[in-house]
Structure 1
Amino acid sequence: MVPAPRDPITTPITKLITTPFTASSTTDDVLRGIDLSGVRAIVTGASSGLGLETARALTAAGAETVLAVRNVEAGEAAAERMAASTGRARPRVLPLDLADRASVARFVETWGGRPLHLLINNAGLVTGGLERTPEGWELQFATNHLGHFALASGLREALAGGAAERDGARIVAVSSTAHMRAGVDFDDLHFDRRPYDPQLAYAQSKTANSLFAVAATHRWASDGIVANTVNPGGVATGLQRNFTPRQKASLDAAEAAGVFTYKTAEQGAATTLVAAVAPEFARTGGHYLDDGQEAYTVPNDADLAEHPHGVKEWALDPELADRLWDVSADLVAA
C-alpha cells in the first residue's frame, strides 16, 4: 500500500480533496506502479460486477484478497479466473450473506482477528417490491447497510491490527447517486407505515452507507481506521436484474437527461480503488468520492439532474451519522 503520510487522521476538511483521476480512469490506472504485497483485503459481493473488478485489480497489484460472497460456487469460479488472468495467488473465497446476522457472525469468526488492511463494502441489493428479513427488516436496508455495519463492527479489531501493522487501515463504502433521492427515515426505517417504494428504499440504504463512513471515521480514527464513501457512477451490472419497469424507465430518463453516462466496470470500480489506496485519502475519512475526486456538497432540496456529481447534506451530517450508528448497533445486537 502507498505509505501513509504521518499527519494526524482527520475528519472531513473544508477544501475538497482532488486526485489525478477522472471519470474515464480505470482500475489499472489507479493501481499503476502500486505494490500491494502484504495487504489483506476483503471485498464483499466480489463474484460479479464492480466487486469482481475491484477484487481482480487488488489481486493483480499483489494484495491477499478475500472474496466475501453469497454464492460460493460463483465466487470460486471468479477466484479461478482472477488467478489465471493476473498470475497471482488465488483469492480466498468465504461465504457471506449480509442479510443473515448468523452468516455475518460466522464470517467474522472465520477471519479470526488476523490483521486486515482494506475492507471494501461493495455488495448491494435492489428489490422490485417489499421483501423482509426474518427480523422484519426491509431487505435493501438490511443488506446494503445493516449487514455491512455488522461486518465492519465485527472486524474492527482486525482493522485496528492492520492499521498498527501498516500505519493505517481503510474501509470503503460503495454508495450511489441514488442517495440523493432520500435520506434516512428514522421514524419508519423498514416501511412499516409508509407505502413501499423500492427506489426510496434503495436511496435510504445508500445514504446510510455514507453516514456509516462518517461515523466510523469519527469513532475509529484513534485506531488508525478511516472510512470513505464512493459513487461508482452508472455501471450496467447484475444489480439491475430486479428493477421494475418504473425503475428502468427512471434510469433511462436520467441517462437521457445527462445525469449520468454508463461506465465500464473498470471505470466504475476505479473510484473505489482511489478511496482504497490513493495517498490523498490515507489518513482522512468521512468523505464522499465521485469520479475519483471528493464530491461537492449540495442542499437536501437540490435537483439531482442539476447536481449529478454532488453529495447531499443528509449523507454527511455527523449528527445523523451518530444517530444511525446507535440505531444500527441496537438492531444488530438485538
Structure 2
Amino acid sequence: MPANIRISTPFSAESTTAEVAAGVDLPGRRVIVTGGASGIGIETARALAGSGAEVTLAVRDPAAGERTAEDIAGTTGNQRILVAPLDLADQASIASFVASWTGPLHILVNNAGVMASPELRTPQGWELQFATNHLGHFALTTGLHRALASAGGARVVSVSSSAHLRSPVVFDDIHFRERPYEPWSAYAQSKTANVLLAVEATRRWADDGITANALMPGGIRTNLQRHITEEDLERMRAQAGVATFVWKTPEQGAATSVLVATSPLLDGVGGRYFENCAEAEPHRPGTLTGVAAHALDPEAAARLWEVSVQTLAG
C-alpha cells in the first residue's frame, strides 16, 4: 500500500468487533492483549479468540484475568485463553513475562493504560502515565521482538487516544521534574508516544515482516476514566466546541483494535493511525479527530526510541 494512499474500510464508528471480525480466521495464531481483563481489552480478546486465536491476557490482576478467560471461553467456545501476570509499571514484571514467552507471537495488542492520574512516580522516578503507557509497552514490545520476527508478518497494535492532540512528547522534561505536573498533559504525551512507537517499530523491523499501527478507540465508559470528573468532561467539551460526547459501547470501542490487528487491508501496512475503523485524516484545529503531525514525525519517533532505550538501561 503506497504511503500516500489513506486506508478506508467498509466499517464505521458504529461498527462492532463482531462485524469487523466476521470472516477473519486465526487458528494457529498467538495473540497477547495487555489489559485484557477490563474495558475494551476484554472485547478485543473476545473477538480474537472468537476467530480462533490462542489469546494470552496479560494482566495486573490474575484473578480478574481468570474470570475473564472463563467468560471468553464460554462465549466463544475457544479454550485456548491463557492468563499471565504483567504490571507495565514494573520493569521486573515485564522482564519475567518476556522470559516466560516461548515460540512465535503473531499479534501484540498494547491495550492497557492509565489516564489522567494524580502525580505518581515509579521507584525509578519516572512519571507513572509515561512509564506505564509508553515505557512499559516499549519494554514489552522490544523484549518480544524475536517472537514477533519468528511469526512472519506479525502485527503490533498500539492503543492511543485523541488526547495525543494535546501534546507532543516533551523531550526536555518528559517526567515533569521541572514543569508543574498536569494530568492531561502527562496522558497526552504518553498517547503521542504510543503512535511514535508504531512509526519507529515499523521502520526498524520492516525486514522482519513486523508492522505496527496505532489507533484511537473512541470514548468508552470504562474503569480507565476512574480519575475523571464530570467537571473534567465539561471542560473538555467546551475546549473542543462540542455539545456532547458520543460514547461507544465496549464492542464498538474495541472494533478499531480488532481491525488493526486482523484486517487484510493492512497487510504490510505500518506506522499509521486509525480511528472509527479507518485511517485518520490529518488533524484540523477545532476538532477532536484526526492525527497530529507531531505523532507521525519520524525524527521524533527515532528520538523517542533512543531515549526509551537509554531510560530503561538506567
TM-score (norm 1): 0.91
Compare 94-103 and 239-248 and name the one that shifted more: 239-248
* 1:25-68 Cα distance to aligned partner (Å, 9 max, x none): 11000111121111100000000101011001111111100000
* 1:280-302 Cα distance to aligned partner (Å, 9 max, x none): 1110100000111111123xxx5
Residue ranges of structure 1 left out of the alignment (5+ in a row)? 1-9
The 5 Å alignment of 1:28-47 reads: 28-47=18-37
Maintained 8 Å contact 2:237/2:244? no
Residue ranges of structure 2 left out of the alignment (5+ in a row)? none
Structure 2 partner of 1:275? 260
Q: Quick one: which amino acid aligns to residue 71 of structure 2?
A: R
> Which of residues 49, 55, 61 is equivalent to 2:51?
61
Q: Quick one: which amino acid aligns to residue 320 of structure 1?
A: A
Structure 2 partner of 1:285? 270
The whole-number CA distance in structure 2 between the counterparts of 1:127 and 1:268 is: 19
Identity of aligned residues (%): 54
SS of the aligned residue for 1:67 comes to strand
Maintained 8 Å contact 2:237/2:245? no
The 5 Å alignment of 1:91-110 reads: 91-110=81-100
The 5 Å alignment of 1:102-121 reads: 102-112=92-102, 114-121=103-110
Structure 2 partner of 1:131? 120
Q: How many residues align?
A: 314
Structure 1 partner of 2:294? 314
Question: Pairwise CA RMSD of aligned residues?
Answer: 1.6
TM-score (norm 2): 0.96
Maintained 8 Å contact 2:9/2:277? yes
Does residue 146 (structure 1) correspond to residue 131 (structure 2)? The answer is: no
The whole-number CA distance in structure 1 between the counterparts of 2:245 and 2:288 is: 7
Compare 80-89 and 63-72 and name the one that shifted more: 80-89
**How far does residue 14 in structure 1 lie from its aligned partner after superposition?**
1.1
Compare 256-265 and 168-177 and name the one that shifted more: 256-265
The whole-number CA distance in structure 1 between the counterparts of 2:295 and 2:10 is: 25
Structure 2 partner of 1:87? 77
Q: Quick one: which amino acid aligns to residue 181 of structure 1?
A: R
The whole-number CA distance in structure 2 between the counterparts of 1:253 and 1:63 is: 43
Q: Quick one: which amino acid aligns to residue 246 of structure 2?
A: T
Compare 210-219 and 82-91 and name the one that shifted more: 82-91
Maintained 8 Å contact 2:56/2:84? yes
Does residue 327 (structure 1) correspond to residue 312 (structure 2)? The answer is: no
